[in-house]
């Protein structure tokens, strides 16, 4: 399967602004070798959306603690 990562048509990313970035932020513990970027996205684009819907919009895999990133469509 071919994916566009990130999704060039993402409504969340097209309206996002960076709220913070770093090797760590309070309450955020990135996995080894990773850093964090906090995005603010339009509330209307995220409200009532499941993680599957959010992933489909963003075109990015979901973090899985202690494992490889997850693409929900691959899990079904």
Q: Which ranges in the chain belong to alpha helices (H)?
A: 11-14, 43-46, 51-58, 72-75
The answer to whether the CB of 12 falls within 8 A of the CB of 45 is: yes
Task: Write down the pLDDT at residue 35.
Answer: 94
Task: Write down the pLDDT at residue 76.
Answer: 62
Task: Write down the pLDDT at residue 1.
Answer: 56
Per-residue pLDDT of the chain (76 residues; tens, 9 = 90+): 567 899 999 999 999 999 999 998 888 888 889 999 999 999 999 999 999 999 999 999 999 888 889 999 887 6
Tokens of residue 54, six digits: 């959010």
| Residue 15 to residue 61: CA distance in whole angstroms | 19
- Which pTM was predicted? 0.84
Q: 47 — phi, psi (to 5°)?
A: -65, 135
Q: Which residues contact 68 (CB under 8 A, 6 or more apart)?
A: none
């Amino acid at each position: 399967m071919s994916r566009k990562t990130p999704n060039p048509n993402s409504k969340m990313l097209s309206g996002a602004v960076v709220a913070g970035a770093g090797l760590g932020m309070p309450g955020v513990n990135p996995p080894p070798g990773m850093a964090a970027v906090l995005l603010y996205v339009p509330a209307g684009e995220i409200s009532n959306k499941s993680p599957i819907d959010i992933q489909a919009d963003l075109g990015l895999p979901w973090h899985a603690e202690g494992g490889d990133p997850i693409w929900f469509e691959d899990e079904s």
